Chains A and B, each alone.
Chain A
């Protein structure tokens, strides 16, 4: 990767058709993130943060400009190539955990490794490591309905981290958690960021999350309003 650049967007614009006209969700976004950042897209609803996260996560493509993620131009990837990028290099954390309810904690975390065709013994070790990072090795046989919200989100983090991706994208990861659990989750992610050098990019408007971010990219009406490199003020 060029100069440790993990994400680079140039004049990134995204428009959505809206009836006969178009709605511009992102306009001329120029952004660079280097490996190991712990940063977030901050803004109110409709500011374009999820759209930008979608494009960076190769779930969508830009209308104009480009988004280069790990040296791959997202707009030029086929559906298969985009899926491969997500499978190999990206981790996702959602607001509502999205764990598979009938599978155990172990199996939920194991899923990304099955797609990467790791051997059984490798998978076992990697899942244990991931659950160790989030402090859930004692819950491996439990299923999501038996876990608290905080525990579910930690399982989701383990699932996102288990393959040691270069980049983790988290959309409002603490929205469904109370303050104590939110801090716990954020500390876990901060620790992983420091220990594994994984890049984290959040989309949030939660003050608790914002307090942990080392770089804050404020969006307003689809454009970058300001970027702050903040001291840790949690």
Chain B
């Protein structure tokens, strides 16, 4: 019987081709959308993690309470000792010190007078220690526009747009005017080694990247750091990994009565990122659900049309003694076959599109120009193909085909055999 059905299916294009195309297109869109949205979400989350939040972050309790102000007067001290302990306690996490600071960048002319000035947001990170991965993590080398990476003390990177605005560039001196950890005035000269473009409008507007030790020196923060970021070996944030780390940390380090005691926050607890983390988790489900509903409706319709076309065939099958349940089952078998075939085709095309989007990306910098969210939106969004993309399409592909057929096939049960002679003679 299966062979008989297959023959009918292959030969009757309107019975197989239309549903096949609908399934293939639906699955292609579902796979592509999943990969694309997953790419955007993960990119946003991970870029934010690398630049700002880490997968977990250690700060003093007081700093954490005022985190948006980056209050370096509340920074962690004895950082080398703390990091050593953290490495022992959590060997699967990479721990890096960061200092965020704000200040004014002053560009002098040849006479040492101010030529231009601009407010800057600065990040101090470990650029020079052997084995430090920070420059790679922030993709600094590949983001260089002019000049080179800092290779000695006192050298910094400026964001390219900022540098142009201040009319300065590589090999020129700039002065940071800020405040020390103790609230004093900090004035420190740097030499611009190069300029970078982060691909993030907010950061490109005015960022200074300096070596951690230079910043510690400039801000009087010996062996201190505002934040210690913890980055998982897997390269991706996961609640399941973060939760036990935080629990273990709190057991050992947290002291409710000491506002300078270290506390640990997960990525999802910072910068309103929980919504993005939850969205990235549920996106596959949401997209799959939307496509199941939409495709089921289309395929229900296609099934009804097919049912009309096959009215005679079903009538004759009922007349010669095939049970309604059996006809219904065979229609579902057919839909499973179409569902599988359509899903394979759709998945192939969806993965192809996702690959293109992963490779070439889509420039959305125009839309993120004035973004004020704590989440760092990349200027070029890319899809991200993950293992579920290879099988996720089977859920909407097969389920919607079967659901559509089941809905359309209910008509078989409503059909009265007493009318068959009349129906089959018109």
Quick one: which of A59, A84, A172 contacts B417, CB cutoff 8 A? Answer: A59
Q: Which residue of A lies closest to B2 (CB)?
A: A114
Task: Give B306-342 as 1s and 0s: 1 = Cβ < 8 Å from A's Cβ atoms.
Answer: 0000001101111111111010000000000000000
Chain A residues lying within 8 Å of B315, measured Cβ to Cβ, are 98
| A96–B421 CB distance below 8 A | no
CB interface residues, A 40-80, toward B, < 8 Å: 50, 53-54, 57, 59-60, 79-80
| B324–A79 CB distance below 8 A | yes
A179 CB-CB contact with B under 8 Å: no
| B425–A111 CB distance below 8 A | no
* Interface residue count on the B side (C-beta < 8 Å): 27
Chain A residues lying within 8 Å of B320, measured Cβ to Cβ, are 86-87, 91-92, 111-112, 115, 159
Chain A residues lying within 8 Å of B418, measured Cβ to Cβ, are 54, 59-60
Instruction: With a 10 A CB-CB cut-off, give which of A60, A83, A103 has the most chain B CB atoms.
Output: A83
Chain B residues lying within 8 Å of A53, measured Cβ to Cβ, are 421
B81 CB-CB contact with A under 8 Å: no
Quick one: which of B8, B312, B417, B425 contacts A60, CB cutoff 8 A? Answer: B417
Q: Which residue of A lies closest to B13 (CB)?
A: A102
A82 CB-CB contact with B under 8 Å: yes
Minimum Cβ distance to chain B for residue A144 (Å):
11
Minimum Cβ distance to chain A for residue B336 (Å):
19
A-B contact pairs, 8 of them (CB 8 A): A59-B421, A82-B417, A83-B318, A83-B324, A94-B421, A98-B315, A114-B1, A115-B321
Quick one: which of B8, B313, B323, B425 contacts A94, CB cutoff 8 A? Answer: B425
Chain B residues lying within 8 Å of A151, measured Cβ to Cβ, are none
| B323–A83 CB distance below 8 A | yes
Give Cα A110–Cα B3 distance, bound, in whole angstroms.
12
Give Cα A79–Cα B324 distance, bound, in whole angstroms.
9
Chain B residues lying within 8 Å of A60, measured Cβ to Cβ, are 417-418
* Interface residue count on the A side (C-beta < 8 Å): 34
Minimum Cβ distance to chain A for residue B320 (Å):
5
B12 CB-CB contact with A under 8 Å: yes
Minimum Cβ distance to chain A for residue B1 (Å):
5
- A98 in contact with B424 given A54-B418, A59-B418, A112-B321 (CB within 8 Å): yes
Given contacts A54-B418, A171-B421, 8 further A-B contacts (CB under 8 A): A57-B421, A85-B321, A91-B320, A96-B426, A111-B317, A111-B320, A115-B1, A172-B425
Chain B residues lying within 8 Å of A86, measured Cβ to Cβ, are 319-321
CB interface residues, B 405-426, toward A, < 8 Å: 417-418, 420-422, 424-426
Chain B residues lying within 8 Å of A84, measured Cβ to Cβ, are 321
Closest 5 CB pairs of A and B: A87-B321, A60-B418, A86-B321, A102-B11, A59-B417
Q: Which residue of A lies closest to B417 (CB)?
A: A59
| B321–A90 CB distance below 8 A | yes
B367 CB-CB contact with A under 8 Å: no
Give Cα A230–Cα B324 distance, bound, in whole angstroms.
40
Chain B residues lying within 8 Å of A94, measured Cβ to Cβ, are 316, 319, 421, 424-425
Chain A residues lying within 8 Å of B7, measured Cβ to Cβ, are 102-103, 107
Q: Which residue of B lies closest to A115 (CB)?
A: B322
- A87 in contact with B322 given A60-B418, A98-B312 (CB within 8 Å): yes
Chain A residues lying within 8 Å of B316, measured Cβ to Cβ, are 92, 94, 98, 100
Minimum Cβ distance to chain A for residue B8 (Å):
6
Chain A residues lying within 8 Å of B8, measured Cβ to Cβ, are 100, 102-103
Q: Which residue of A lies closest to B425 (CB)?
A: A95
Minimum Cβ distance to chain B for residue A206 (Å):
14
Give Cα A103–Cα B326 distance, bound, in whole angstroms.
19
